[in-house]
Amino acid sequence: MIAFRSVFSVLIASSTLMLTNCGGSSSPASYPNATIAISPQITSLAVNGTQTFTATVTNGPANPVITWSIYGATLGGSFSGGQFVASGITVTYTAPATPPVYSENTVGGSTNYHSSGSGTGDEGITSITAGAAGGTGTSSSASASFAVTGPVSTGIAPTTATVQLSKLQSFSGYCVGSTNNNLVWQVNGVAGGAAATGTIAPQVTGAAYFTAPAAMPMTGNTVTVTAGCQADPSKSASSTVTLTP
């Protein structure tokens, strides 16, 4: 999937949490009304910038154990989107030198880009999570999501494809470096395409399906599929599609 920009839109989510205190009691205490939150609520962070995040647990144990992660990769794990430095209930995130493209996966010869690895349309967004775990294995977490801002860049996959008339071809793309990572999909320069050259319809952010025309175009057997940045139309990436009977 594709979409990237140099900005961070922060989404803070608090959830109910069950924490336990493993003191000397044979039956650990529970905290059914405990909640966890992350601050501050930033919306973006520039490349090479740093930001300290703090986790706050309310109605929980006095000294909760906080585990920090970033897109499912625990601290110390490999992650191309930045680095953490853990310190008590706080961590300091350092943004990369360029806006990151997350989870580049090649399957069946086709490369797909997912910022979160889930394909849910969060391309270009970094998500930092703080979790508090209890002695009984129950846990809860809160996340801060934002975009890394910097030079805008785009990509598309696959860069070439062969599609039979009336058949489908999936494409993934990205635009990073801005708070708006949405894409504009085109076929031969026309947004959404046309019946004569094929149409393209976005599925989620960074993913789209191209439907080949029913008959060979008058212009020849190739068309161009383009993924362009909505926020910066001058930035785009293209794929050449060869049509076959």
Q: Mind giving me the DSSP string for 150-168?
A: SS-EEEEE-SEEEEETT-E
Which pLDDT does position 91 carry in this prediction? Answer: 85
Structure tokens at 105: 């996966």
The full set of domain ranges for the chain reads 11-149, 153-244
* Measured distance CA(192)–CA(225) in Å, rounded: 10
Which pLDDT does position 81 carry in this prediction? Answer: 57
pLDDT of 1-56, one tens digit each? 333 333 333 232 333 333 334 444 444 567 777 788 899 988 899 999 999 899 88
CATH 2.60.120.260 fits 153-244, yes or no: no
Which pLDDT does position 89 carry in this prediction? Answer: 83
Name residues of the chain where pLDDT drops below 50. 1-27, 72, 76-80, 103-122, 135-138
Query: 11-149 in CATH: which number?
Result: 2.60.40.10
Apex CA 56: angle with CA 50 and CA 59, to 5°?
175
Question: What region does 214 belong to: left with phi over 0, alpha with psi -120 to 50, or beta?
Answer: alpha
Check: CB of residue 69 under 8 Å from CB of residue 131.
Answer: yes
Which pLDDT does position 23 carry in this prediction? Answer: 42
How many residues are listed for the chain in this entry? 245
Check: CB of residue 98 under 8 Å from CB of residue 89.
Answer: no
- Identity at 160, one-letter amino acid code: T
Which pLDDT does position 138 carry in this prediction? Answer: 47
Which pLDDT does position 102 carry in this prediction? Answer: 60
